[in-house]
Amino acid sequence: MTPTGLRRTLSLLPLLILSLPVTAELSRLGDEVLSGISGQGGIYLSGDISINEVGGPVENSYFGRCDDASKKCGARFAYRLKEDGGWMVLDEIRGNFAFEGLTLRVRNVDSGFAGDGDLFNRDVIELGLPNTVRFNDVQFKIAGSSTARPTDPGFQQTDIFSVEMQGEVMMEGNLLVFPAGNP
Amino acid sequence: MGIQHSLKPFTTFAGGVACLVFSAGISAGMKSLDDSVLAGISGQSGLTMELDLGLTAGRLSYFDDGNGLHLEGFRVGSATDPTGQAFHLVRVDITEDATLNLDYLVEDRRIEFGDIRLAGAPGVSMGGVFFDHSLKGYLNIRQGGALGGSGYTFDTAYTMTGGRLGYRTNGNELFLDNITMNVEAIGVTLDLVGNTLTLDAPRIVGDWEVGAIRYSNNPLTHGVSLDSGTGQPLPSYGSLSGRYELSSRTDITAGGRAGEGLRIDSETVIHTASFLYTDDGNTLALRDIEGAYRINDLRLDVAPDWKNRPALALTLGSMDGDFRIGSIEMGANGKSVGQINVSFLLEDQVFNGRNYSNAIYLQGGGHSNAGPQGLRLATEWSLRLADFSYTEDGNRVIFSGLQSWGQGDVTVNVTRNEVNNGTEFFDGLRVGFEGIKAGYRINGLRVGSEDAPLQGGTELLLALGFYPAYEFELDGHVTLGAGGASGAGITINSDIRIRDGKAAIIAAPYDEGNGEVSQKGLWITELDYNAHVRDMTVDVTEDGLAIIKGEAWSTMDIGNLRVGDKESGQSFGRFVVKKYETGSSMTVIPGGAGDVCAGGMGSSAGECEASGGVWEARGGEGLTVRLRQVFAKAISDTRKNELVWETNRQIDGAGRAVNGTGTQLVLNDIYTSDGGDFDGDGIDDNSFGTRTDLSVDVYRTRVVKKADGADSLGVVGNRGDEKIMDASAAAGYRYVSNPVAQDAENRPLGFAVKARSQFKELSINNIDLVHPVGGAQTAVYGVKMQNFDIKANLTATPIP
């Protein structure tokens, strides 16, 4: 530090000391000041979602942990379209999805889309698709079942087909969600 | 201790006894000693006065510009004997330097007002206040204040024991019991500057303890710890304790907001403080508190409120301050949740085109059906700006630009279980809300530091019922009863009604830096929300803070779900969410997610990275909220779980959609179950419910560029490049295509939420399509979801 610089620093010291009693004052950075660095809200999400990684909370004659080969460790979703009909089932739902860069924000679309944006001129929820989505052991079965619960009396189930997914999916673009029609 | 020190001037014990004997003769009443008498005893061993004081006054009145405030049923006497007297022993000593030393001992004293009334408000009053204590201490007064000879300087210290401070309305009372307090203030000066009295206390040190906070609904019980009927201890909310060291300066000036009255300006610096709440041996502790606040132009008047009701008016020019709570500890091991910083500015501000200020107009009456005694606080507030930040493991998230405004009546009554004129009351302290029109909003989150860009992230806390912006009209009450799930604690009964609500699920900033703008977002508007809670207990436990709901039901009728502007944004239609829960709970636990494999799988760093994930050691601090929601089967049209989506509604003359005239999709009677009847009572068990654990941390995360070229701040990179924070870069970060280990340590900080949600069984009884003319058609005859365990690791950062 130069002597001049040092003198300046020293001359500032009394000001600093004088200012001590007013440390109670707020010295926040107003949002106006921050205009240059605003990211315009919204979020950029990275992370993963897994379903029944090691099994679900139910342990009975049908469901169990994934290291028990005699039990099912996935989740089960059953519905029926007739009052006394059988049940459509998505069974043994499991897997892990990992992604980087899923964005979520509300924005105005008033340009682009080959001129359609200008005519559209509305606010939309924009889901920015992640660069990559990695699937780890994503699987489920589609089946028909006689009962909603696999532990109900008379339970019978016929598996129709099963799906397994593994690998990475590259994505680009946005998903725009907006109201249409009469609310 | 200072008390013992001050007793030294008394030369001999014998002399003291002689004084006592002498003073016994004057114990029947107070006698003032004039200066000529005291002049003769200067420099001598002093004078002892012993006094049994019993004083009553039917009414003490204070008048301000002709408006009266009356304190009725004033009494000073024994705390234990309603007709008895309080013992006082005062030793007066004047030293050579003309310092007046007062050593005092007060035993078993109660000071109370039976009621407080305002002239012009017949039939209603504020209720009674009582204050019991025994005191031992000293007060030294010498001439010469901070500014010279015309002022005074005081040194004082005292110990208070057996204290009680109570509030009583309509035969029910609530009081702090068994208060112990030590206070020492040395070098307090009192000066008159112009027409302002300045009281400067450079150092006040103290500690305090409240043994219990008790409640009584027995009109025959007054100011005692045991119920006068059963002889049992009155139920307690828990106990409190704390320490503090502060300095303060207060200016008191004559003159109210209009005419007579008082003006108070004050500045207080809290050098250190702690606050502990203890419930059956478990403690919630706020430690290492420090901060400062300043009150500017607080006026005290007896003046009417905006509805011309007589009131004691407290109107504020402004108040600002900032606080830091260094550690919030709870649970058996005293583990810390982290640190909280708050800065605030209460000041007049225009919100939604209307000016709001800060004022409380204290009135008598409380809720109109609770009885004639109670408090009514006609309140207006304007929180111009506040920042609330949470720091854990050294990383910080700031809820930036919090603003709040509102006006309405808050009522306070101590009530008991009864129905009066159709209003249901519960045991406890009832805080009522009447016609409160209010709102709040935050500008966004900033993660890391105050100059970080604004971002979203509150969306990840929706499960906790957190909305980043909310405007509403509020009526209802929250009644805080004594006693928790076991022993001490709090029991809450509540009925809340929100009308014309507008709440944001997703909200963009209201100020991007160029002035206020319409806050764009996903809004629930035209909201009518009715919520009821019965027997919800709040306890501090070995785990943390446990909240257990006995029964809770609510209807959230969302007139429109709008995108964009909350007034004019286009609507997805109407949504009605009905909830009915029994035995649901929420536990707040210190500690966040701990070690996390983000974006991969594995329980060690090696396994995680091999699966493509990033191993994150998120540290020991943080916060975990454990929710259990037990959705019960429907028992009535209001106590059920149901989701309705209605569109294509008819429009009324004012252009508004008319609810109930459109087509509806109804998910009817949604409930959880344990998957069978295991206890053999013929009904499926339902105790597991849906269990959601939310862990909140602030941690570094991987952010990759989504497109080639420049981002919103002009920083150039290629798709897939990683964002690395770099203070030497112009924008504070740069893009790196192949980050090295050191880069990984400079990844951007994000708001990290780890969630795990599981349920054994969740059912929907039926899904109907309802046509306004054709009626309901069932589309799905039952949905049953079983054995779900969903985990999510999500970290929110700003959009690059």
CB contact under 8 A, A38 and B688: no
Q: Would you list the DSSP string of B499-533?
A: EEEEEEEEE--SBSSSSB----EEEEEEEEEEEEE
CA distance A16 to chain B (A): 18
Point out the residue among B514, B564, B706 whose CB comes nearest to the CB of A131: B706
Chain A hits for B508, CB-CB cut-off 8 Å, are 40-42, 105-106
pLDDT at B20 over 50: no
Q: Which of A106, A121, A131, A182 to mutate: most B Cβ within 10 Å?
A: A106
Selecting from A26, A39, A56 the residue whose C-beta is nearest the C-beta of B712 gives: A39
Alpha carbon distance A62, B370 (integer Å): 57
The radius of gyration of chain A's CA atoms, rounded to the nearest angstrom, is 29
A40: pLDDT confidence band, cut at 50, 70 and 90? low
CB-CB neighbors (< 8 A) of A178 in chain B: 563, 570
| B755: Cα separation from own chain's centroid | 26
Cα-only R_g, chain B:
31
Tell me what pLDDT residue B601 has: 80
The confidence score (pLDDT) of residue A5 equals: 38
Q: How far is A11 from chain B (nearest CA, A)?
A: 27
Specify the number of domains making up chain B: 1
- HSE toward the beta carbon, residue B590, CA cutoff 13 A: 27
* Structure token digits, residue B302: 């007896």
Nearest Cα neighbor of B294 from B354, B359, B247, B357 is: B247
Residue B728 lies in a domain: yes
Q: Which residue of B has its CA nearest to A137?
A: B601
pLDDT of residue B127: 96
Query: Are B746 and B724 spatial neighbours (Cβ–Cβ below 8 Å)?
Result: yes
- Tens of pLDDT, residues B302-343: 999 999 999 999 999 999 999 999 999 998 888 999 999 999
In sequence order, what E strands does B333-427 have?
Answer: 335-336, 339-347, 349-351, 354-356, 358-364, 375-392, 395-415, 418-420, 423-425
B252 within 8 A of B262, measured Cβ to Cβ:
yes
Q: Check B784 against A78: CB less than 8 A apart.
A: yes
Spatial CA neighbour of B725 closest among B717, B712, B735: B735
Residue A88 has pLDDT above 90, yes or no: yes
CA distance B274 to B292: 15
Q: Which of A140, A45, A176 is nearest to A99 (CA)?
A: A45
List chain A residues with CB under 8 Å of B609: none
Contacts of B564 in chain A (CB under 8 A): 106, 108, 122-123
How do residues A148-169 score in pLDDT, each as one tens digit? Answer: 999 999 999 999 999 999 999 9
**pLDDT per position as a tens digit, A48-61:** 999 999 999 999 99
- Residue B16, Ramachandran bin (φ over 0: left; ψ between -120 and 50: alpha; else beta): alpha
- C-alpha B433/C-alpha B494 separation (Å) is 11
Closest C-alpha among B33, B75, B121, B177 to residue B375 = B121
Among B500, B484, B479, which Cα is nearest to B433's? B479
Q: Which of B476, B404, B405, B383 is nearest to B435 (CA)?
A: B476
Considering only B126-130, B262-266, B600-604, which range has the smallest mean pLDDT? B600-604
List chain A residues with CB under 8 Å of B691.
Answer: 57
Whether the predicted pLDDT of A2 surpasses 80: no
Closest-CA residue to B211 (of B247, B262, B248, B175): B175
Tell me the chain A residues in contact with residue B444 when contact means C-beta distances shorter than 8 Å: 41
| Containing structural domain, residue B706 | 702-747
Q: Do B599 and A134 touch (CB under 8 A)?
A: yes
Residue B743 lies in a domain: yes
A182, B334, B453, B517, B575 from A106: Cα distances, Å: 21, 42, 17, 14, 20
Chain B neighbors of A57, CB-CB under 8 A: 688, 691, 758-760, 787-789
Query: Which of B799, B235, B182 has the alpha carbon at shortest distance from A40?
Result: B799
Query: What average pLDDT does the structure give for chain B?
Result: 91
Which of B308-317, B516-525, B598-607 is predicted with the least confidence, judged by mean pLDDT? B598-607
Report the pLDDT value the prediction gives residue B222, as an integer from 0 to 100: 95
Share of chain B above pLDDT 70, in %: 94
Angstrom distance (rounded) from CA B557 to CA A26? 41
3-state secondary structure of B618: coil
pLDDT at B100: 94
Q: CB–CB of B704 and A101 under 8 A?
A: yes
pLDDT at B639: 96
- Banded model confidence at residue A33, pLDDT cuts 50, 70, 90: very low
Residue of B nearest to A35 (CA): B513
Residues of B in Cβ contact (< 8 Å) with A170: none
In this complex, do B780 and A75 lie within 8 Å of one another by their Cβ atoms?
Answer: no
CA distance B530 to B578: 9
- Neighbouring-strand partners of residue B348: none
Confidence band (pLDDT; 50, 70, 90) for A32? Answer: very low
Distance from CA of A7 to the nearest CA of B (A): 28
DSSP letter for each residue of A96-155: EEEEEEEEEEEEEE-S-GGGHHHHH-EEEEEEEPPSEEEEEEEEEEEEEESSSSTTSTT-
Tell me what pLDDT residue B34 has: 53
Bridge partners, B786 (sequence order) = A76, B761
Question: For residue B44, what pLDDT band results from cuts at 50, 70 and 90?
Answer: low
Residues 6+ apart with CB under 8 A from A74: A51, A52, A56, A91, A92, A93, A94, A139, A140, B787
Query: B73-122: per-residue pLDDT in tens?
Result: 999 999 999 999 999 999 999 988 889 999 999 999 999 999 999 999 88
CB atoms within 10 A of CB B81: 12
Burial readout B716-734 (b: 16 or more C-beta within 10 A, e: otherwise): ebeebbbbbbeeeeeebbb
Look over chain A and give the mean of its residue pLDDT values, rounded to a whole number: 81
Tens digits of per-residue pLDDT, B336-377? 999 999 999 999 999 999 999 999 999 999 999 999 999 999
Q: Cβ of B638: how many Cβ atoms within 10 Å?
A: 14
Q: Which residues pair with B59 in a beta bridge?
A: B72
> How many interface pairs between A and B have CB atoms less than 8 angstroms apart?
289
Closest to B748 measured CA to CA, from B682, B796, B695, B714: B796
- C-beta atoms surrounding B27 within 10 Å: 16
Confidence at A11, pLDDT banded by 50, 70, 90: very low
% of chain B with per-residue pLDDT over 90: 80
Q: What is the dihedral of CA B709, B711, B714, B718, to 10 degrees?
A: -30
Does A67 contact B at CB distance below 8 Å?
no
Grade residue B40 by pLDDT with cuts at 50, 70 and 90: very low
Distance from CA of B339 to the nearest CA of A (A): 18
Confidence at residue B51, expressed as pLDDT on a 0 to 100 scale? 92
Residue A7 to residues A1, A3, A18, Cα–Cα distance (Å): 10, 6, 18
**pLDDT for the residue A14:** 35
- How many CB atoms are closer than 10 A to CB B617? 12
In the three-class reduction of DSSP (H, G, I as helix; E, B as strand; rest coil), residue A3 is classed as helix
pLDDT in tens, B128-183: 999 999 999 999 999 988 887 789 999 999 999 999 999 999 999 999 999 999 99
CA distance A46 to chain B (A): 5
Instruction: Tell me the per-residue pLDDT of B627-674, one tens digit each, with 9 for 90 and over.
Output: 999 999 999 999 999 999 999 999 999 989 999 999 999 999 999 999
pLDDT at position A13: 34
In degrees and rounded to multiples of 5, residue B462 shows phi and psi of -60, -30
Contact A26 B779 (CB under 8 A): no
Q: Are B175 and B223 in contact (CB under 8 A)?
A: yes
Q: How far is B695 from B463, CA to CA, in rounded Å?
A: 12
Contact A147/B at CB under 8 A: no
Q: What angle do CA B201, B207, B212 make, to 5 degrees?
A: 130
Question: What is the C-alpha to C-alpha distance for residues B223 and B165, in angstroms, rounded to an integer?
Answer: 9
Structure tokens at B730: 């112009």
Pairwise CB contact (< 8 Å): A32 & B514? yes
Domain ranges (residues) in chain A: 40-177
- The confidence score (pLDDT) of residue B8 equals 35
- Which residues of chain B lie closer than 8 angstroms to A181, CB-CB? 647-648
Give the model's confidence band at B425: pLDDT under 50 very low, under 70 low, under 90 confident, else very high. Answer: very high
The mean pLDDT value for A75-87 works out to 96
Q: Where are the alpha helices (DSSP H) in chain A?
A: 3-18, 116-120
Q: Is A183–B647 a contact, with Cβ atoms under 8 angstroms apart?
A: yes
What ipTM did this prediction achieve?
A: 0.83
- Look at residue B619 in the predicted model and tell me its pLDDT: 87
**Which range is least confidently modeled, A119-128, B36-45, B331-340?**
B36-45
- Report the run of H or E that residue B710 belongs to, with start and end: strand B709-710
